[in-house]
Structure 1
């Protein structure tokens, strides 16, 4: 490049980008002012933006070029075939944007599209998205992305390069999926949005759900129900399947998600009364047998030994009397 201005093909556009915000060591979309000095047809100052990968704590002014090629203006072939190069011939050369003619005239919107073409998809805020630059592709058939019309949730994001199908984050709840055919709420709080995609039904003021915030994903029918937990959960008839309330004379009534068991009628009352009496009777019998066994084998032997000890102190026992008589007989022989 020689001189302050380099002419490439039809014209050269000198671009001055005045930075408004300093970069923070990450990709940042910054609002800028764009001043076009030539060609004369689009000369002026415009509002635009630039994607800045930036150096921390540094701002300033970026000088660059928007070049419109003399040949191969639609870029259908390689520019090398036309002996055209956009590479800088010296170190420290200014950055360049190549303006390609896609069937539109060289006007304000074309220049802005050339400047904004490097934007990262889904960048927020979408400064480059304006009526002059592009239309919203999500407005037509939701861009072909997943959508929940009832809760006004969509996976379609309109960017400068086109729409992107990406599962969103709504009220702090992240949706996961391919973004095209499926997006499901995941994590804590997922049941607050479309019940986490799980089954839910309300009857007589009572609401039962297959979604639980205690788990990050999945649906499971609660106790008393069976099913996949997504499309349906059917009530289990505990009475019909004889799972509970099977006592004689008891009446079982199935309820939604549970059951009620009651015992009524004279026959049932009599049966319960006789059963109670039999329990008491057998309890008394067992207590008597136990007491007799204790008396026979423990207390009786103990009492016998105590009585013998007492009687031995006041009167001779049979064996002691015989021993005394034998002793007297031996004494007589000696005399």
Structure 2
């Protein structure tokens, strides 16, 4: 007992005697009183560290305050009181006073009485605190894992105001709102799980191991598909310099007092020591590091689950040999893990455990991690029961609206508001297109994108397709009909032109396009001999008396005349060709004759002078004289 007390004193000295002040953040949600006017307003309340908070959701109810056992430390069955809501009635939020018993016992009694939530009014004016579980060693705390209703601690002043309103016979209506209890900035949720490889710490260790087993499947699906980024963490303490050589520090710490963990049984004389826990924690952290580097971080869940089953402390298998067998069965590089662990006896820092100690310190909106297990989602500490369904809801609350994975929209997790009256959004029932998008927090009315075609509108009263492909989706919202083997559409790819009835039809192009009777309205077949027959979307013209209809000229011609015209045209061509031949022959004869004349004249000029030649000779002779 002295050894146990000595170590606890050392831990106390670590946190309070060396100037390290832990920063515990109280996680809150919104509480809105809607009536009566005297209390109406929005208030803060602290989320209890038990039960199942409705992360991402809201709960509307009416407040009741018991006339007896106002601290709810006894079962309400003893006084035959029920707070279960009647069919069609609002859920009951039971208001009780702080004091005399555990918060969890108050919640358990309220739940058994039929209340849908419990409000604990503080008994003094002070900042809100987090209602926590009692020590797990308490034999009366076996109901802890059975609490399923949400809980909230409210200020004394708000509690007094509600009590006064109820005493005046006024109904107090309230809305508990967890929609903003967790940040939800984008399409990926980052969460941390602060855990321990120790399996001999009582009911808390048992519930932690059960949670890992139950949650493994969902965690791995979310991680594989990139919806989440998960990181496991392990709490260690360091041994103060003055106690490094003590028996307690040597048995609880590695690397010369730098990284320590409490004795599993809180008894230094038997079983495994704290240093064994630290080494196994380090091995699990290194397993995650190596698996994450090989882009398979989800294998951590397999390793931790298998290790808890195959290597429990109670069977004396909590050893390196057993752990190595599990690692090898999962195909992870054992050598890299051993290198990551390093030498536990060395007087040097271990990079992995040093980073773990740094991460324990709260940053931003997250407080220090001081208890196990602790779940941190989007840098906010999760409050409530460590249960698969409750944690999935909390993770789903961390996604930006409309980016949630399918698991968040299943019937087991949330209610699909689009199923009732289409959520009040626009829809085209004929084409099965809707602007209602189910989200974890409710629904949004947003014009959809269907087959690559974007719809524009307010999402509530109308949505209209746009783009070159808009006619491929519901025909762009325009009229379309098939009849007599033909299909006509009023959709035009150019959204600016909207819907326009095709030629042969008239109407608004959206709801109706009626066939135009071209025959009746004298729009076709106007020639005297023409006969008109209306068809759907068009018309047919014909001619009587053996005449042939020419549509392009809207006229009738004789079939015989057409034949005579054809032969006349042929004769004209033949005669034309003959004329061209005669003319060509005449030209040919003329040119031949000219040529022959010139040749004969040249020959005769050589033997006898011609008249013009003698005259030229005489002129030349006279000129010489």
With normalisation by structure 1, the TM-score equals 0.54
What is the match of residue 143 of structure 1?
Answer: 423
Q: What SS is found at the alignment partner of 2:533?
A: strand
CA contact under 8 A between 2:22 and 2:368: conserved in structure 1? no
My pick for the range that moved more, 259-268 or 238-247, is 238-247
What is the match of residue 188 of structure 2?
Answer: 28
Q: Do the aligned partners of residues 13 and 300 (structure 1) sit closer, same or farther apart at CA in structure 2, a change above 3 Å counting?
A: farther
Q: What SS is found at the alignment partner of 1:127?
A: helix
1:73-112 alignment runs, 5 A limit: 87=365, 95-97=379-381
> Over residues 288-315 of structure 1, what are the superposed CA-to-partner deviations in whole Å (9 max), with x where a residue is unaligned?
578557745x5334324546777999xx
1:168-187 alignment runs, 5 A limit: 168-170=448-450, 172-178=451-457, 179-185=459-465
Bigger RCO (CA 8 Å, 6+ sep)? 2
> Over residues 171-211 of structure 1, what are the superposed CA-to-partner deviations in whole Å (9 max), with x where a residue is unaligned?
x4544123222334556876564333221123234332334
Which of 428, 439, 450 does residue 159 from structure 1 map onto? 439
Distance 2:536 2:558 in 1: 30
Distance 1:228 1:168 in 2: 25
1:1-335 alignment runs, 5 A limit: 2=21, 9-12=129-132, 27-28=187-188, 52=228, 57=295, 87=365, 95-97=379-381, 116-129=396-409, 134-170=414-450, 172-178=451-457, 179-185=459-465, 191=471, 193-211=473-491, 215=493, 219-239=499-519, 245=525, 249-265=529-545, 271-274=558-561, 277=564, 281=568, 284=571, 288=575, 292=579, 295=582, 298-306=584-592
Structure with the largest fraction of strand: 1
Distance 2:133 2:25 in 1: 9
Q: What SS is found at the alignment partner of 1:135?
A: coil
CA contact under 8 A between 1:29 and 1:123: conserved in structure 2? no
With normalisation by structure 2, the TM-score equals 0.33
Distance 1:13 1:4 in 2: 19
Mark the runs of 5 or more structure 2 residues left unpaired by the alignment: 1-19, 27-127, 135-185, 196-203, 232-291, 302-363, 371-375, 549-555, 615-625
> Over residues 91-127 of structure 1, what are the superposed CA-to-partner deviations in whole Å (9 max), with x where a residue is unaligned?
99x743587xxxxx99989987666533211124243
Distance 1:169 1:124 in 2: 17
Q: What SS is found at the alignment partner of 1:119?
A: coil
- Report deviation, 1:145: 0.8
Q: Do the aligned partners of residues 31 and 266 (structure 1) sit closer, same or farther apart at CA in structure 2, a change above 3 Å counting?
A: same
Q: How well do the aligned residues superpose, as a CA RMSD in angstroms?
A: 5.7
Q: Do the aligned partners of residues 278 and 122 (structure 1) sit closer, same or farther apart at CA in structure 2, a change above 3 Å counting?
A: closer
Q: Do the aligned partners of residues 127 and 309 (structure 1) sit closer, same or farther apart at CA in structure 2, a change above 3 Å counting?
A: closer
Distance 1:263 1:142 in 2: 58
- Report deviation, 1:255: 1.7
Distance 1:144 1:253 in 2: 49
Structure with the largest fraction of helix: 2
Q: Do the aligned partners of residues 32 and 199 (structure 1) sit closer, same or farther apart at CA in structure 2, a change above 3 Å counting?
A: farther
CA contact under 8 A between 1:157 and 1:163: conserved in structure 2? yes
Distance 2:540 2:490 in 1: 23
- Report deviation, 1:286: 8.0
Distance 2:582 2:524 in 1: 45
Distance 1:236 1:263 in 2: 22
- Report deviation, 1:159: 1.6
Distance 1:267 1:295 in 2: 41
Aligned length: 273
CA contact under 8 A between 2:23 and 2:367: conserved in structure 1? no
What is the match of residue 72 of structure 1?
Answer: none
CA contact under 8 A between 1:196 and 1:211: conserved in structure 2? yes
Distance 1:161 1:124 in 2: 10
- Report deviation, 1:265: 1.0
CA contact under 8 A between 1:31 and 1:127: conserved in structure 2? no
Q: What SS is found at the alignment partner of 1:138?
A: helix
